[in-house]
């Protein structure tokens, strides 16, 4: 059952509007419109995506928070997908830094339909200290086909994507692949060779992603 977020502050931004993020035009199928709940001016900030497993380990959640806070403190807006696990940890850690730090959730449903439902409180905080975005119309519920489309928006908006934990077949690897195709930087956090949730990150590193141990490793690759 979808959980609805009551709001009267949603903006519809058409492609071609002067505030429409130009980086989305790198896609072969840019969204024709974006529905935005929050501070639309934050779209001008440099962004970094942090993604990973929904069923993340305790270490993975800790690492997501560590990278999110370090990158936010360096002046980046932290982007993720509002999912359970790594996404939620990255959003929450950024919010925990206080009002000068911002995070953006790209939604796989309308911005007024919060999924998963346990992230309703998190979504309310994000729209106060960042923004919720979707290309889907208001009232549209989550569907499996929506999430790859959400991931392409995450990839296009960001200077790079940090994969914290991921199985060998996961949506996070799809996001990383899309990012690479768009010329974005790909970063992967290593883990134990015995942990299935590290297998995707290790595969990315074998394919050329930068192994990162701390936010500094990421920041030295970015220009913003």
- Give me the residue label for tokens 């920041």: 219
H or E element in which residue 164 lies: none
The CA–CA distances, whole Å, from 124 to 44, 92, 112, 189 equal: 21, 11, 10, 29
206: Cβ contacts below 8 Å, ≥ 6 apart: none
List pLDDT tens digits, range 124-182.
Answer: 999 999 999 999 999 999 999 999 999 999 999 999 999 999 999 888 999 999 999 99
Cβ–Cβ < 8 Å for 173, 166: yes
**Residue 2 pLDDT > 70:** no
Cα 108 from Cα 146, distance rounded (Å)? 5
Instruction: Count CA atoms closer than 13 A to 204's CA, side-chain side.
Output: 36
List pLDDT tens digits, range 27-83.
Answer: 999 999 999 999 999 999 999 999 999 999 999 999 999 999 999 999 999 999 999
Write down the pTM of the prediction. 0.94
The CA–CA distances, whole Å, from 119 to 65, 87, 123, 125 equal: 16, 11, 6, 10
Domains contained in the chain, CATH given = 3-219 (3.40.50.450)
């Amino acid at each position: 059952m979808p959980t609805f977020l009551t709001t009267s502050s949603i903006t519809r931004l058409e492609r071609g509007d002067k505030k429409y993020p130009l980086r989305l035009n790198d896609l072969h199928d840019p969204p024709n419109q974006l529905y935005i709940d929050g501070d639309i001016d934050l779209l001008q900030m440099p962004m970094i995506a942090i993604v990973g497993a929904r069923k993340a380990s305790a270490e993975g959640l800790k690492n997501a928070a560590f990278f999110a806070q370090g990158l936010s403190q360096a002046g980046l807006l932290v982007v993720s997908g509002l999912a359970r696990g790594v996404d939620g940890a990255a959003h929450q850690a950024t919010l925990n830094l206080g009002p000068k730090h911002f995070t953006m959730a790209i939604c796989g449903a309308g911005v007024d339909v919060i999924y998963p439902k346990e992230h309703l409180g998190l979504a309310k905080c994000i729209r106060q200290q960042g923004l919720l975005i979707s290309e889907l119309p208001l009232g549209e519920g989550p569907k499996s086909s929506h999430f790859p489309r959400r991931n392409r928006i995450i990839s296009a908006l960001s200077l790079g994507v940090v994969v914290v934990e991921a199985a060998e077949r996961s949506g996070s690897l799809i996001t990383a692949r899309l990012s690479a195709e768009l010329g974005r930087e790909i970063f992967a956090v290593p883990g134990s060779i015995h942990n299935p949730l590290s297998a995707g990150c290790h595969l990315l590193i074998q394919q050329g992603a930068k192994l990162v141990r701390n936010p500094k490793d990421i920041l030295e690759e970015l220009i913003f």
